[in-house]
């Protein structure tokens, strides 16, 4: 796909909404301060992009939270393994110290190398002298081994203690980062909730209508561009299974950080869909974009993942016919949406080496699978 066309498609979903409503601005009451925003929104027209940006920022922070949670899980396992190894090393060190203490007591009580040499000099026969020499050699070897074990135990315990302290420090740093990311999500959602709270029921309906109008315009532009190619493409066996899993989740609420079975966030849905299909993929949308093979939009087949926004902060699973299944935003439920419901960044395929099925009948969608907001204009809080 030409770069110019892709850039156009990426911006259409955001730009079209404000273009459509330029002639229908409505007063919306007192202004509310918005973090990181250029100005306080005073009309529905101004409020629309502000809300979209707040939800985008909240989802970006949520995906960062998810990534940190995955790293924290790995780090806790590593810290636990190091601490278990450290406990074993300290037990071995205590045993080596006891052994060295017994050696020191024997030497203090006269069972030293000197008494062995005396016995060797006083031996009554060459054979007895040889026997005493072997005993002395074994004793000296055992003493040296005991001292070596003590030294090695001390070195290992010191090394493990240092590594354990470092791992624990990393774990605490990740936990602090996770708390900050959680606070960012909460701040963005609370700001969005405050902006929505000032709207009357009529103004909220108009806001949702304007959002829908803009999204429909973006979807028409996407389909008319021919960027999706011609004809239907069949999924792979695992892609079909991932789509089937996603369809069974329709109607479940969006909760950021959730991976099912009762609720999902956007990448929680896609990662669990592919895990259920037997191919685990990265947890977050950003890791899915970074680590899975990318494909052009004209190659999309059911089961592929569509990535949104310039920083890959949202993801959906392709259903076919220009539609996706997604967990849209806080306050919404898993649903079927137009592919252009958000600005498209690109697409990835979790199973690039697999071949398409020879035939495929898509699972039946539940009633009202496309009902509800695609953008989440509702209050929600972080877990």
Cα end-to-end span (Å), the chain:
40
Judged against a pLDDT cut of 60, whether residue 36 lies above it is answered with: no
- Using left for φ > 0, alpha for ψ between -120 and 50, and beta otherwise, residue 36 falls in left
What pLDDT does 318 receive? 98
279 plus 363 within the same structural domain: yes
Q: Are residues 157 and 268 in the same domain?
A: no
Residue 310 CB burial class (10 angstroms; 0-12, 13-18, ≥19): exposed
Query: Model confidence at 14, in pLDDT bands (50, 70, 90)?
Result: very low
Q: How high is the pLDDT of residue 110? A: 53
Q: For residues 180 and 232, state if they share a domain.
A: no
Token pair 């730009």 in the structure block, residue: 15
Average pLDDT over residues 115-134: 51
Alpha-helical segments (H) within the chain: 3-20, 44-108, 113-121, 126-197, 201-225, 237-248, 266-276, 285-291
Residues linked to residue 7 through DSSP beta bridges, in sequence order: none
Can you give the pLDDT at residue 160? 83
361 located within any domain: yes
Q: Are 233 and 179 in the same domain?
A: no
Say what the pLDDT of residue 146 is. Answer: 61
DSSP-derived 3-state class of residue 44: helix
Q: Are 341 and 372 in contact (CB under 8 A)?
A: no
Q: In which residue are the tokens 């909460």 written?
A: 186
Task: List, in order, residues 6 or more apart from 362 with CB less than 8 Å away.
Answer: 243, 302, 319, 320
Q: Are residues 236 and 358 in the same domain?
A: yes
In angstroms, the CA 267 to CA 289 distance is 11
CATH code, domain with 258: 3.90.1720.10
Assess whether 103 and 167 both reside in one domain: yes
Residue at 217 is within a domain:
no
Q: How far apart are CA 347 and CA 329, in angstroms?
A: 19
47 in a structural domain: no
pLDDT score recorded for residue 284: 93
Which of 182 and 142 is assigned the larger pLDDT? Answer: 182
Same domain, 242 and 109: no
Q: Say yes or no: 235 and 336 in one domain.
A: yes
CA atoms within 13 A on the CB side of 105: 6
Using one digit for the tens of pLDDT, what is the confidence trace for 305-359? Answer: 999 998 899 999 999 999 999 999 888 899 999 999 888 999 999 999 999 999 9
Judgement on whether residues 237 and 140 belong to the same structural domain of the protein? no
Distance in angstroms (rounded) separating the CA atoms of residues 109 and 15? 92
Residues 294, 239, single domain; the answer is yes
Give the SS3 label for residue 351.
coil
Q: Of 157, 185, 213, which residue is a domain's last?
A: 185
**7 located within any domain:** no
48 near 244, Cβ under 8 Å? no
Specify the pTM: 0.65
pLDDT tens profile 125-177: 555 555 544 544 555 555 566 666 666 777 888 888 888 888 888 888 888 88
Tokens of 245: 């899993």
- Count of domains observed in the chain: 2
- Are 256 and 342 within one domain? yes
The pLDDT of residue 100 is 62
Contact between 305 and 347 under an 8 Å Cβ cutoff? The reply is yes
152 shares a domain with 89: yes
Q: Is residue 346 part of a domain?
A: yes
Upper half-sphere CA count for residue 156 (Cβ side, 13 Å):
19
Strand 305-308 versus strand 323-326 pairing type: unpaired
Percent of the chain's residues with pLDDT above 70: 72
| Residue 211 belongs to a domain | no
Mean of pLDDT values over 71-89: 85
Residue 339 is given by DSSP the state G
* SS3 (DSSP) at 239: helix
pLDDT one-digit tens code per residue, 265-308? 999 999 999 999 999 999 999 999 999 999 999 999 999 999 99
Residue 55 phi/psi, 5-degree rounding, is -70, -35
Picking from 185, 205, 220, the residue at the C-terminal end of a domain is 185
Which of 151, 185, 219 is the last residue in one of the domains?
185
Q: Band the pLDDT of 114: cuts 50, 70, 90.
A: very low
Question: Do the domain assignments include residue 198?
Answer: no
Range of the domain at 112: 67-185
pLDDT of residue 139: 53
Q: Is the peptide bond before 261 cis (omega within 30 degrees of 0)?
A: yes
Using a pLDDT cut of 90, give the percent of the chain over it: 34
Given a cut of 90, whether residue 248 has pLDDT beyond it is yes
């Amino acid at each position: 796909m030409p770069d110019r066309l892709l850039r156009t498609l990426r911006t259409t979903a955001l730009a079209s909404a404000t273009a459509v409503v330029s002639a229908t601005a409505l007063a919306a009451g007192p202004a509310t301060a918005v973090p990181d925003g250029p100005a306080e929104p005073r009309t529905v027209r101004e409020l629309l992009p502000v809300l979209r940006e707040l939800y985008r920022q909240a989802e970006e922070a949520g995906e960062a939270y998810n990534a940190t949670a995955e790293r924290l899980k790995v780090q806790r396992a590593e810290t636990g393994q190091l601490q278990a190894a450290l406990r074993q090393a300290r037990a071995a060190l205590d045993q080596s110290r006891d052994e060295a203490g017994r050696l020191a007591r024997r030497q203090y009580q006269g069972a030293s190398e000197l008494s062995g040499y005396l016995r060797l000099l006083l031996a009554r026969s060459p054979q007895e002298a040889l026997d005493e020499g072997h005993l002395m050699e074994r004793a000296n070897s055992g003493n040296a081994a005991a001292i070596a074990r003590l030294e090695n135990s001390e070195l290992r315990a010191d090394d493990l203690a240092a590594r354990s302290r470092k791992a624990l420090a990393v774990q605490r740093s990740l936990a602090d980062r996770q708390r900050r990311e959680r606070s960012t999500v909460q701040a963005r959602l609370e700001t969005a909730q405050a902006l929505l709270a000032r709207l009357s029921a009529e103004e909220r309906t108009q806001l949702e209508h304007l959002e829908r109008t803009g999204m429909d315009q973006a979807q028409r532009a996407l389909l008319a561009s021919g960027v999706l190619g011609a004809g239907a493409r069949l999924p792979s066996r695992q892609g079909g299974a991932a789509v089937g899993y996603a369809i069974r989740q329709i109607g479940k609420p969006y909760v950021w950080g959730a991976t099912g079975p009762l609720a999902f966030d956007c990448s929680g849905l896609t990662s669990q869909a592919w895990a259920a299909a037997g191919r685990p993929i990265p947890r977050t949308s950003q890791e899915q974009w970074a680590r899975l093979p990318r494909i052009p939009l004209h190659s999309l087949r059911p089961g592929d993942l569509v990535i949104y926004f310039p920083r890959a902060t949202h993801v959906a699973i392709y259903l076919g016919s220009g539609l996706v299944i997604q967990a849209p935003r806080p306050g919404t439920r898993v649903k079927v949406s137009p592919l252009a419901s958000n600005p498209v960044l690109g697409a990835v395929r979790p199973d690039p080496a697999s071949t398409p099925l020879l035939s495929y009948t898509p699972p039946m969608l539940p009633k009202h699978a496309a009902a509800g907001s695609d953008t989440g204009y509702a209050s929600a809080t972080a877990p």
